[in-house]
Amino acid sequence: MLVRVLHGILALALVAFSTTSLAAKISAEDYQRVVNEAYRMFKDVDEGANADYIPILATVPSNLFGVAIVTRDGEVYAAGELDYEFSIQSVSKPFTASLIMQQQGPRTLREKIGVEPTGLPFNSKIAVEIYEERSVNPMVNAGAIAAVSLVEADSEKERWKQVLGNIEDYAGRDLKVLEDVYDSEYETAWGNRAIANLLFNYGRLYSEPEQALRVYTRQCSIGINTLDLAMMGATLANEGINPKTGKRVLAKEHIPELLAIMATAGFYDESGEWMYRAGLPAKTGVGGGIIAVVPGKFAIATFSPPLNPAGNSVRGLRAIGHIAAELGVGLYGPNAGE
């Protein structure tokens, strides 16, 4: 019930935000200034650690750090490491959720997966047992595996083709799977395999479990860079139209629901802290990526592998918090960024 209320509040905030200008128009100089500041302020932060439960992620250089803004008009402002391709991991989750919305509507997402935050870690198996809806929401592993299983397809090959094509449409370019990441992740996917089988047992998975697991793992292993993430977020900021290609990827009327889920569960069991800090719908991944969306305006993306205990990039969350505070773009009013 709480999240339904929050969805309504967020929807009102999006309407207000999209129909009014910022207190002062943000100039190109301001965009680049805050990006440069965020990079300079946090590039030497030596906290957190790379994820290692997927063994290959521990080998990614921990000093890498990129920051980018892409506006709804496609203007790019960036600093730091921008070309390094890392695995998208959980940042992929809202985009596959949007594919379900586009194919079957938001009601299917709510009824067959759920939209409530778990308050538990993203890979929790306990959540599947204690919540009646089982999958709970598409921003955690259980709901994301269920989302993959809901894609309208007659075969695993077709299911994967749709998942990849949808993410490519958001990024505005062809993408490929990092096969070494896929191998490392699939070979150690015992927790996710357990989740998939539990969901299937409860009637909350909509394809054969191992097929869903393989497609989900390939989805998480897609290689992207910081600029790709910013373009993906900017597509949501631009009401579902990719600013680079002009292609509509998601219907405008579905944007509020998707951003609401990101706001309430995009930072896992740290989502409340994140909204308190930055006030922006966002999504993180254990590969080190984060995207945050300023509806109707722009998106911010960061990449930095060292994570905090909740699985969120230490440098990234601080950088985005700083940018949101400096530009005064929190949905509920300017945040302090602290």
Tens-digit pLDDT profile for residues 55-100: 999 999 999 999 999 999 999 999 999 999 999 999 999 999 999 9
99 and 215 in a single domain? The answer is yes
CA distance 32 to 87: 26
37 among the known binding-site residues?
no
* Last residue of one domain, picked from the residues 220, 235, 251: 220
* Last residue of one domain, picked from the residues 188, 220, 252: 220
Does residue 260 sit within a domain? yes
CA distance 122 to 241: 29
User: Residue 273: is its pLDDT beyond 70?
Assistant: yes
268 among the known binding-site residues?
yes
User: DSSP assignment, residue 333?
Assistant: S
* Last residue of one domain, picked from the residues 197, 220, 243: 220
Categorise residue 193: left if φ over 0, alpha if ψ from -120 to 50, beta otherwise: alpha
286 among the known binding-site residues?
yes
User: Residue 337: is its pLDDT beyond 60?
Assistant: no
User: Residue 325: is its pLDDT beyond 50?
Assistant: yes
Provide the pLDDT for residue 164. 98
- What digits encode the pLDDT tens for the residues 148-176? 999 999 999 999 999 999 999 999 999 99
90 among the known binding-site residues?
yes
Structural domain including 302 reads 2-89+222-327
50 among the known binding-site residues?
no
User: Residue 338: is its pLDDT beyond 70?
Assistant: no
Tokens of 325: 């505070």
332 among the known binding-site residues?
no
Nearest C-alpha neighbor of 192 from the set 258, 119, 269, 128: 128
CA distance 92 to 141: 11
Range with lowest mean pLDDT among 86-100, 229-243, 272-286, 298-312 = 272-286
123 among the known binding-site residues?
no
283 to 25, 28, 257: CA distances (angstroms): 26, 25, 14
238 and 318 in a single domain? The answer is yes
Give the mean pLDDT of 281-285. Answer: 96
Provide the domain count of the chain: 2
Provide the pLDDT for residue 21. 45
Provide the pLDDT for residue 1. 45
Nearest C-alpha neighbor of 195 from the set 221, 218, 217, 177: 217
CA distance 131 to 314: 30
Model confidence, pTM: 0.89
